[in-house]
Structure 1
């Protein structure tokens, strides 16, 4: 029987890349995993395999001098949102294909 209950965790992926072409490439990669975010910081609910895939892709396209951070968000703490920000919601499934 196929088990579709894949545990996913919330991460923030932030980057600071000076080269326009590399920044566009990194943004496209991160946004393909993201559920929301803005500018150079995105929220991503990732399974273990998605996390590993995103790390491989980021590592392949980033260079010395680039700054990329993939930070887990502790799930036992409530997320504080200010202004028009909305707390990220795990939709339970991302198709990457």
Structure 2
């Protein structure tokens, strides 16, 4: 993701990955993660993380209220801790 001036916005440990990748893109990265770190990613319940409501560019100009998510964020920290443990720790 980038700012409107095309400056990259770095991903941090607790950044929700759903804002960076759609439902159709993230499974490929998760599959690669599972192979690389020997973590069974088939146990991940994607219904717990999707659908994710994304904020439009103009929303921040019309509303100060944050979007209320109905699902949990899927973060880099979750993948890092699961890689250390050798299994998926969440859900």
**Bigger fraction of residues in strand:** 1
Length-normalised TM-score, structure 1: 0.27
**Bigger fraction of residues in helix:** 2
